[in-house]
Each structure stands twice: as C-alpha cells, then as structure tokens.
Structure 1
Amino acid sequence: MSSKTTVISGFELVKHLQKWSKNNLRQETLFCTIDVTDLYTMVPQIEGVLSLKKMLDHLKLKQIGGLKIETIIRLSRFVMQNNYFSYDGQFYHQIRGGAMGSPLTLTMANCYMFFYERDIVKQINNSNGLYFRYIDDIFIVINWPVRHLLKQIDRWNHFDENIKLSENISSIVDFLDLHIENQDGQLFTTIYQKPSYEPYYLPFNSIHPLHMKKNIIFTMLLRAIRYCSTFQAYLDERENLRMALMVNKYPNKFIHEQFDHVLLKLNIDQPLT
C-alpha cells in the first residue's frame, strides 16, 4: 500500500527516477526535497494513536501476533502517554509527540504521514510527477514552474497545523545517500556523502571474522555500481572506496580480489576499468 509512496534506500529511488526520466525529464525539470520539521515530537499523541487505528482499519486487520486490535491500541495509547525523562535533576512527562528512538513513535509518525500526504500524492501523480518519502524526508520531481511548486507547498503547509514542510528546490539535490542532478535534461546520479563523513571502516587488523571485511567491500562497491549513472562516476567512487579502505589498512591485493568478486557475482565478465 504505502510502498508506492515510500522508499527505504537510495537504490529504490534510483530505479524509479531512471524509469521516470526516460520520457519525462526535461532541461528545465527541477527536483524538490522536503524536510518535515521535528516530525516525531510534533505528532500529537492522541492523533498519532488514532492514525494507527485508522491504518489498521484501512488494512482490515483484526489482530496481529495474537493480539486484538483493541488491545494494541490501548497499549499504544499507554506507551505514548507515559514517556518520562530526567534532565538536570528534574523529571519531566512528555505531553506531545513520542520518544525519539522508540519503534512505536516511528510507526505512529509513518501512519500519521501516510494519511496526511494522500492528497499531495494524488496531486503529484495526476501531474505525472514522482513523490516518495522516507519517514520525514520527501522527494518530488515534477514538471511544474518553480512559482507554482512553491505555491503548492505553501498550501500543503496549511493541511495540518502539526506538519511543517521545509523545501529545497534545485536542479541538483541530495536525498538519503543519493546525489541527483539534471544535466541539461539528462539524469545524473552518484553517491552522496554528508559533510560530516569520515572514511573510517572496520580496520583490517581487527579481530573480526574475515567475511565481515569482505562484506564491507562488497556492499560499498555494489552501491557504487547501482548509484552511479556514468562510467566515470563509478570509477571515481571506486577509487574513493579504495583509498578509504587503504586508510583502514586493507591490503591492495585483498581489495582487488573483492572488487573482482563483486563483478563475478553480478555476472560481469570484463573488468570495469
């Protein structure tokens, strides 16, 4: 149900973007990323529980794991309304939103956003655009003029007093770990690293099993292959990965062997050099 409007990785977004851009990406197409401000702490507790109940009704579920829906809702209400914490020698009772890091808070927030965004999704889809969300981060690509898009975002900001949207509109955006550009009507993607990124991985001389070190190289190079839309971007990312691994004492021969292993797994019988 919500899988049509949510993504859990940059790779999912890449696949949707590649398919959409074949017939829809224009030279003037802009990307829009939106942050939902303080989502976890802005969702009212009662409304959050009600959105969970609404979602369970929407899915026509009678029970989960042997628990009746009524029991789940009562337990959820108890948890949401009984969060306490201490600060500077004082105890506080949280009366708005949920506890950060709580799985229940995440579920509530996703349910709340699902019902909030339905009219927005319908509007974007009717205009042949793409809308995807990862918890409190939203990605939109649509062939609207900037002024019209800003006007619509302002309108969406009045849908719910608890939801505040903060947008960034450009031909170059970053979403999750994906860097996206519209280069004169051509889609370009590669890996995005946050400014706080440091090239530190599990050191090769650690006592961890060897397969864990192999898996680090496998997953990182696989991500580069999936994300990079040009061969040069792939080569750049592969070299960045090699340098980071060498900083962490990985032997160059070991790195080469694992790079080749990735290509073998993907049935690429010629070296990507």
Structure 2
Amino acid sequence: MASNTIVTSGFQLVKQLQEWSKNNMRQESLFCTVDVADLYTMAPQTEGVLSLKKMLDYLRLKQVGGLKIETIIRLSRFVMQNNYFPYDGQFYHQVRGGAMGSPLTLTIANCYMIFYERPIIKQINNSGGLYFRYTDDIFLATNWPPRHLLKQIDRWNHFDENIKLSENMGSIADFPDLHIENRAAQLYTTIYQKPSYEPYYLPFNSIHPLHMKKNVVFTMLFRAIRYCSTFQHYLDEREKLRMALLLNKYPNKFTDEQFNNLLSKLNIIQPLTCNNYANYRQKVIDFPIKEKISVDYGKTIFVHFTYCSSMRTFPIKFHALWNKYFGESPINEVLPILGIRNAKNLQRQLIYTR
C-alpha cells in the first residue's frame, strides 16, 4: 500500500529525485521536510491497533508466523494498553501512544500514518510532486508556490487531531542523511551530517574480524559515490572519511586498499575525474542491488564462537573439517553459518554499562 512512498535510506530518495528532476525541476521548485511531532507518543492506542487490523485486512492475511490475526490484534491491544514506567520514585501507566523503542509501537505508528497520509499522497502525485516518508519525517518536492504549500500543510494539520505537522521549506533540504539543493533548476546532492555528528567508527585496533573493518571503509565510500552529485563533493567526502578513519587508527595503506577494492568491484577501471565522474556515478546508481537470500532454518545450522586474534583462521579450518568429515554424509545438506561473539573485556564492559 505504501511501498512506493516509504524510504529507508537516502539512496532511495536520490534515485527518485533524479527521475523527478529530469522533467519537473524548475528554478522555483521547493523542497520541504515535514516533521510529525511526537508520533510514537501521540498516536492513540485504540485507533492505532485498529489501523493495524485495517492493514492486515487490506493485505488479506489470515495468519502471520503461525498466529491468527485475531490473536495478533488481542496481543497488540494488551501490549499497547499495559505500558508502565518509573519516574521519581513513582510508577506511571501510559494511556496515550506506545513505549519508545518498542517494535510494536513503530509498526502501529507506521500503520496509523499510512492511512492518514493517503489523501496527501494523492494530492501531491496529482500535482506532479514527490512525497516520501521515513518513519515520522516527510519529504516533499513540489512546484507549488510557497504560500499555497503552507496553506495545504495547515489543511493537513486538521485531518487528525493526533497528528501535528511542522514544516521547513526552501531550495535546500536535509533528509535523512542526504543534503539536497536546487541550484537554478539543477539537482545537487551530497552527504548530510547532523551538528551532533562525531567521527567515531569501529576502531582499527579493536578485537573484531578484519572483514568488519573492511566493510566500514567500503560502505562509507560507496555511500559517498551514490550521494555526491559532483566530483568536488565526492573528493570532499572522501577526504573527510579518510581523516575520520585516521582518527580511528586505520592505516592509510589499508584505507587506500579498500577504496581501490570498491572501485574494482563497481567496474570503475579508470581513475575518477571531473570528466568521467558523472557517467561512472550513474552506473553505480543503476548497479543492481542484490536481493536478500531467505534463510531455510530447516537446513541451516548457526555456530557462534568468541572471536579473538588467535581465532582468525578458525572459520577456514572449521569449513575444511566440515567438508572433510561430512562431505559424503547426508548431514552435508545442512549449511553451517559461522557467527562471532565479542570477547568480554573490561573496555567492552565499561562501554556497555556506562
């Protein structure tokens, strides 16, 4: 129902904005971010559970995970209406909204918003605009005059007394980790970092497998290429990343190796320049995303071990022994997946309990 208007990353918004800007971007085009105030604690409990029931009925589901819909609704109602919390030596019963951080609260808030926003989405789409939502944050791209947009947001604020919208509009917007600009009818994007951002990543000298540290570098540079619409923006973000990695003890040689590894995997065979960046970036954006492979738990065994520096070669040895002793056995139909647990040390304990 809402899969076309809900985004879970800035990259999804980049792709949608690119398509929209080709035919719709004008010099007076507006970007507007709208915040839904206190969504989790303002959504009413009874109506929230009813919106969940309405969503399940719309999807025509009879069971979810072996549970009947009636059971899910009764359990959801019980959880929503039985949230308690201590404050200043007293216990309080939450009578409005749900507990912050609860997966159920997030699900019910999403369902509630989906039915609230349907007429807004229809209105925006009919006018040739864009509407996307990330949980309780809404992004709009439109060619409406500012006064008309403000008038419409005020009208939407009267759709539901539990939903209060506050807007921020202009030729520049930040949503959620993407910085967006309209410069003379041209779309510019780069990475947005909140004022509270601090360059803390997994330290290179921490006791974690090397592939995790490689993934930090790989993923951050991959995001920079996807988000940065100009070569200069890309260079700036790459150097920011390099400095942040240095602060986290990553050797320059290691960082450069991962940078080159990413470019190689993306089939970027030439050094990036201001002349070829746009073409290569578009190929990266169009690069097919691998679908998540579902796990067959009936034919999968998970093995966890505590990782330390002396266990670096354990996964290779484990799979070698597995193939040696079970290669010709029927048990070989079972796929072993190794997972790690971090070693319990004083530093980890202090971080966890502070």
Displacement of 1:57 after TM fit?
Answer: 0.7
Displacement of 1:93 after TM fit?
Answer: 0.4
RMSD between aligned residues:
0.7
The count of aligned residue pairs is 273
Q: How far, CA to CA, are the matches of 1:172 and 1:262 in structure 2? A: 30
Q: How far, CA to CA, are the matches of 1:60 and 1:210 in structure 2? A: 45
Q: Which of 1 and 2 has higher RCO (CA within 8 Å, sep 6+)?
A: 1
Are 2:103 and 1:112 aligned? no
Determine the structure 1 residue equivalent to 2:91: 91
SS in 2 for 1:92: strand
Displacement of 1:271 after TM fit?
Answer: 2.3
Displacement of 1:84 after TM fit?
Answer: 0.5
Determine the structure 2 residue equivalent to 1:36: 36
Which is greater in Rg?
2
1:205-253 CA distances to partner (integer Å, 9 max, x unpaired)?
A: 1121111110000000000000001111111100110111111111111
SS in 1 for 2:3: helix
Displacement of 1:66 after TM fit?
Answer: 1.2
Aligned identity (percent) is 82
SS in 2 for 1:187: strand
Determine the structure 2 residue equivalent to 1:126: 126
Determine the structure 1 residue equivalent to 2:47: 47
Determine the structure 1 residue equivalent to 2:189: 189
Q: How does 1:92-171 map to 2 (within 5 A)?
A: 92-171=92-171
Q: How far, CA to CA, are the matches of 1:88 and 1:65 in structure 2? A: 40
SS in 1 for 2:205: coil
Q: How far, CA to CA, are the matches of 2:272 and 2:254 in structure 1? A: 17
Does the 8 Å contact 1:260/1:271 carry over to 2?
no
Displacement of 1:272 after TM fit?
Answer: 2.2
Q: Point out the more displaced range, 247-256 or 40-49.
A: 247-256
Displacement of 1:75 after TM fit?
Answer: 0.5
Q: How far, CA to CA, are the matches of 1:32 and 1:154 in structure 2? A: 14
SS in 1 for 2:34: strand
Gaps of 5+ in 2: 274-354
Q: How far, CA to CA, are the matches of 2:61 and 2:249 in structure 1? A: 52
Q: How far, CA to CA, are the matches of 1:96 and 1:30 in structure 2? A: 35
Does the 8 Å contact 1:178/1:190 carry over to 2?
yes
Does the 8 Å contact 1:217/1:255 carry over to 2?
yes
Runs of 4 or more off by more than 4 Å in structure 1? none
1:157-211 CA distances to partner (integer Å, 9 max, x unpaired)?
A: 0000000000000101100100000011000000000000111111111121111
Q: Point out the more displaced range, 196-205 or 28-37.
A: 196-205
Determine the structure 1 residue equivalent to 2:62: 62
Q: How far, CA to CA, are the matches of 2:82 and 2:203 in structure 1? A: 42
Displacement of 1:28 after TM fit?
Answer: 0.8
Are 2:247 and 1:247 aligned? yes
Q: How does 1:204-243 map to 2 (within 5 A)?
A: 204-243=204-243
1:7-64 CA distances to partner (integer Å, 9 max, x unpaired)?
A: 0000000000001001100011110000000000000000000000000111111111
Normalising by structure 2, what TM-score?
0.76
Q: Which amino acid aligns with 1:142?
A: T
Q: How far, CA to CA, are the matches of 2:71 and 2:211 in structure 1? A: 44
Q: How far, CA to CA, are the matches of 1:252 and 1:40 in structure 2? A: 44
Does the 8 Å contact 1:31/1:140 carry over to 2?
yes
